[in-house]
Amino acid sequence: MRVVLDTNVLVQSLIAAQGPANTIIGLALTRSFDLLVDPRIREEYEDVLARTRFGFHRSDVQHLLKRVELVSTRVIAAPLAGGSKGFPDLDDVLFLEVAVSGKAQALVTTNLRHFPASLRHGITVVTPLEFVQRFVHVG
């Protein structure tokens, strides 16, 4: 399975040691799915996780980013057919571009409203909880 993670999933995983986002990060780090990224996503991960408002320890952020770097699959993303018109948050378009270009089965985000159903290009967009419920098989 090929998956793109919005930055907010990494944020949630650092905030709460338990929960769906942390489960997803654990699965990514054990290569239970292919985590798709491009240089823009890597840069956003770094920029957002370094924000002082979150209060994350720098060592925790660096540790997570290094591990994500080791397990991720680089994608060369093309612009979306039809452009980015209609997206509520243009900063999030890059995640869908990577998902489409990388032929992802899912894009995981806490901001579903940033990815209107009519603009998803066939990509399944789910919350962390929905991802765990739909795609993670226990046992």
Over the stretch 89-108, which tens digit does the pLDDT of each residue have? 999 999 999 999 999 999 99
Which residue positions in the chain have pLDDT lower than 50?
A: none
Q: Is domain 2-135 classified as CATH 3.40.50.1010? A: yes
pLDDT of residue 17: 86
pLDDT of residue 15: 95
pLDDT of residue 73: 98
- Using H for helix, E for strand and C for coil, what is the string for the chain? CEEEECHHHHHHHHHCCCCHHHHHHHHHHCCCCEEEECHHHHHHHHHHHCCHHHCCCHHHHHHHHHHHHHHEEECCCCCCCCCCCCCCCHHHHHHHHHHHHCCCCEEECCCHHHCCHHHCCCCEEECHHHHHHHHCCCC
Domain ranges for the chain: 2-135
